[in-house]
Every structure is written in C-alpha cells, then in structure tokens.
Chain A
C-alpha cells in the first residue's frame, strides 16, 4: 500500500519542476525496498542506451551490425541469462570504448572495432560487456542512485525538465564508471564466456595490449582509461587466475578470420 502511495506521489510530484528532488527521493526510498524486476532492468537499459545514442548513432553498416549480433548472441547463449533481449550495436564514434546497459543492450564504438583484427578479439570485448549485464553492475548502480522510479515517470513526459535532469544523472553514471573490482570481475567472467563459446580465451590479453598501445599513441581512450583500471593491471590480474581449462582454451579459434571478411568489398 505504502509502495503504491509513494508511486502516485512520485508521479504527481514529477509534474512540478520545483519538487523534482523530492520526487527522486521518494521514488528512491520506494525503490530500495522493491525487488529487482526484469521490467525495471529493461527500463534502466532503455534510459542508459538512449543517453549513449544521443551522443553517437548506429553506424550505417548492416553487415557489420548483423555480424556483431551473431557473435554477441552466441556468447550470451553461454550465460545463465540467454533469454534477455540481447542487442548489440556499433556506434559511430572516434572514442575507443564499449558500453553495457542493463537488460542486454550493448554498444561498441567504431573506433574500437577499428582496433580489432579477429573474431576472437571481438568476442572478448563483447564477453566483457555481457558479463557486466549478467552481474547487473550498472543496474545496481542505478538502483542505488534511486532514480528508476522517478525515471520511468519522467520518460512519459516528453520534453519536460525531468527528462533533462534524468539524462544528466545517467550521463554522470556513465562518465564515472563502475568500481574497479567490477571491471576486473567482468574481465574474468568475460574471458570464461568467450572460452565457453569456443573462442580464444587469451584474446582478452590481446585486447589489453591493444588498449595500452592506443593509449600510448594518444588515440581517443580518455573516457575508457578514466573509467577502467590500467590495461596492464587488468592483464596481470587475468593472467594470475588462469587455470588449466582456460589455458587449454587459449588458442586461436577456427572462426577467427571471419572478422576481416566483413570488411571485404
């Protein structure tokens, strides 16, 4: 009953500009006692993804987009959340980065694609992002920030100041990034997911090397570097946990060369 009451109050308050903070607060208190739901997670995903895509749009290359979805979906199939509406997209940006939004919406930048050479490497990047979704890393940050209830109301009021405020909050979360431990966790999980899918587990190390090189060459890695541990630290953290299963999976996959075929004219 109380929950319902707060929801209504939140809805009413979100219409009035001066009461926005109260709405967030009430919505948040409300939210923290509510269990996580798939519907809520998907709404959070829509918020995050729409914000990101306000900055960079999908690359007009259907062949590449489909390919990334095939590889990504195959990896997602190896996780305990195969039934999410997994969607993968390459966005047109000169920044080297990748993003995982709650619910299984994953974006890679075109500059990151440009760094890659094999399907194994693409798989490693996608697997890291998939791991963020499986662990609900961003979803939990958003819940903790108590903005979802407010957000779902605000989204219905197009053009309102609320939308602006909410998008600012989402942007802040993206710009701040996750705890370093969450990034290390996504590296470990991602390495396993890629290996389960039949890909070269050691490609995750190669990704770290490439990120180091890109950073050294002053390519656009600023946001990535400020939101992640250093690539060298990530690489040594990964190599420290390699076991026999992973080592066996540390060889080039038979599908590796498919990546470059996508770019043939």
Chain B
C-alpha cells in the first residue's frame, strides 16, 4: 500500500511527462482508429425517416427504405448521425444493424489524462480466472470495504449538490434482440412485436 504512495510522490514529475507523452501516443492511436470505425458501413433494419435533428418530431430529410447502407458519423444519446443516400441526418440507434460494430467514438471523450497514478499502483494484478482460483480469501479486506459504506442520507445530499433530480421510470422487459442472443436462434422473430418476451423470472 505504501509503495503506491511513495511512488506517487517521488516520481511525480517524471511520471507527469511520461504520462503526457503516452497521452499523445494514445490520441494518435485513436485518430488512426476513427476513420476505420466510421468507414464501416452498416445497414438499416427497417424503413426509417432520416431526421434533421435528434427527435422523432424533427423535420424529415429523406425517407430511407430497409437495408439502406449507412455510414455512421457519431452517436449522441440514443440517436446516431449517419450519412445515407447522399444525405446527412439522424436516426434512432435501434434502426441500425450494427453487427459486431459499435458506433465510432468521439475523440473528445477519450481523455484519460491525469488518472494514471491515482488509479493504479505498481503492484496491480490482472484478476484472471486463474488468479481468482489461486487467491486466498481476504476477510480483512472485506472488513475494510464495509467501512467505506456511507449513509443513504449522505448520498442524497451528494446527489442534490450535483443538481441531480430523480425520476420515476419503470423497469424494462427484455426486447426480442436479447432473447435471440440468449438462446441459439429458435426461430426468426418475424414481425410480431412481443410486448413481454421476458425469459427470466421477473417476479421479485
């Protein structure tokens, strides 16, 4: 434990520069990746209106038929900006078949600067399945973890100080997609819209 602290203090300066240069390298790598990500073409699952903005009520730029090839530009919330049939606009993320691809990332969001020393020590381990099996249980650490627990009231105060407002939202039932993923394709889901395809017991 102390090793981490002294490392942090003694090597502060040298680590800072090392980190800076690593960050620079990292940004280079990201920029290499983006054109690749974006150029990956995806297709529309169903016919969809291309919207001017991220809203179903927004102006329609163009109506796109199912299976239209689209280029992903960026995702924001549950909407994706795309280029399709010579036009740019927004569609809901759920209308695109991503395959094994996630939408391209926004390079602005990837700043991991400054966290290096604070979230790792030189003693860090990998935590593989093998590590877990070989580990000796550590009840003393469990006791330390319990001490970190804070009161519900303190958390409330913290949330309010951050301007967070709670919302009443019901839990969601499984969609047809996750049911497909969970089981080896039993049958094509077709166009029926299952209101409740929950395969698990939701009774608690």
Binding site for B on A (CB under 8 A): 46-47, 49-61, 64-66, 69-71, 73-74, 76-78, 82, 85-95, 97, 105, 107, 109-111, 113-115, 117, 119, 135-136, 163, 167-168, 170-172, 174-175, 179-182, 184-185, 188-189, 191-192, 195-202, 205-206, 208-210, 212-213, 216-217, 220, 222-223, 226, 229-233, 235-237, 239-243, 245-247, 249-251, 253-255, 258, 260, 262-265
**In the bound complex, how far is the Cα of B177 from the Cα of A56, in angstroms?**
35
Chain A residues closer than 8 Å to B155, beta-carbon distance: 69-71, 73-74, 76-77
> A86 near B98 (CB under 8 angstroms)?
no
> A229 near B181 (CB under 8 angstroms)?
yes
Give residues 25-67 of B contacting A (CB, 8 Å).
29, 33
CB distance from A137 to the nearest CB of B (A): 10
> B178 near A240 (CB under 8 angstroms)?
yes
Shortest Cβ distance from A257 into B: residue: B162
Q: List 9 A-B contacts (CB under 8 A).
A: A49-B145, A54-B135, A70-B150, A71-B155, A114-B112, A195-B169, A209-B103, A231-B102, A237-B181
CB distance from B15 to the nearest CB of A (A): 12
**In the bound complex, how far is the Cα of B100 from the Cα of A254, in angstroms?**
32
Report how many A-B pairs have Cβ atoms within 8 Å: 302
CB distance from B140 to the nearest CB of A (A): 9
CB distance from A161 to the nearest CB of B (A): 13
Chain A residues closer than 8 Å to B188, beta-carbon distance: none
**A254 interface neighbour in B121, B146, B163, B168, Cβ under 8 Å:** B163
B11 within 8 A of A: no
B10 within 8 A of A: no
> B172 near A236 (CB under 8 angstroms)?
no
List 18 other contacts, CB 8 Å, given A167-B137, A181-B182, A223-B128: A46-B139, A52-B127, A78-B166, A94-B127, A110-B119, A135-B204, A181-B174, A181-B199, A181-B200, A202-B76, A212-B102, A213-B33, A220-B127, A236-B177, A239-B78, A239-B92, A240-B177, A263-B119
> A93 near B204 (CB under 8 angstroms)?
no
B133 within 8 A of A: yes
